[in-house]
Amino acid sequence: MADGPDLGLDPSLDHGPRGRPHECRAGTPPRCHGSRLQQQLGLTDEQTQAIHEVHARRAASSKELRRSIRQAQSELRQLALNGGDQAAIQAKTAAVAQLLSQSLEMRVASLQEISPILTPEQRAKFAQMGPGSFRHRGGHRPQVQPQGS
């Protein structure tokens, strides 16, 4: 296509500013959230729905944990930059580490819940995809090469 960079977006959908279709909202059908993963792994509609349900069950607790991590990291940054005492910095560092550990445990639990949904071939391919391939939050944007360089 000569119109611009290929961002891997479905041309039949109207994409928003972050590359997601406009109709994708929390609680929407998995065709929005899982289409890239569905294509990459060759998931059936039933598998995609089951994976969406795993995420939906964990969405609120994941969101709250991410909020807690951001808050604790911000507090730690403030302590470090504003001359906080060493004991307070160590305590906040331990709190951040604990929250990050909880996040990792949640991700592992999600993967363990999703594993039986996938075929052995899909599991192997998914394992090779690397971290972040599964996320459907808005924080990750496609990399666009600057034009004229």
Angle between helices 45-81 and 86-114 (to 10 degrees): 180
Instruction: Determine contact, residues 23/86, Cβ cutoff 8 Å.
Output: no
pTM: 0.63
DSSP symbols for 130-144? -TTTT--STT-----
In three-state secondary structure terms, 83 is coil
pLDDT for residue 6 is more than 50: no
pLDDT digits (tens, 9 = 90+) for 31-72: 444 578 888 899 999 999 999 999 999 999 999 999 999 999
141 φ/ψ sector (left φ>0, alpha ψ -120 to 50, else beta):
beta
Neighbours of 38 (CB within 10 A): 17
Neighbours of 133 (CB within 10 A): 14
List phi, psi (to 5°) of 21: -60, 145
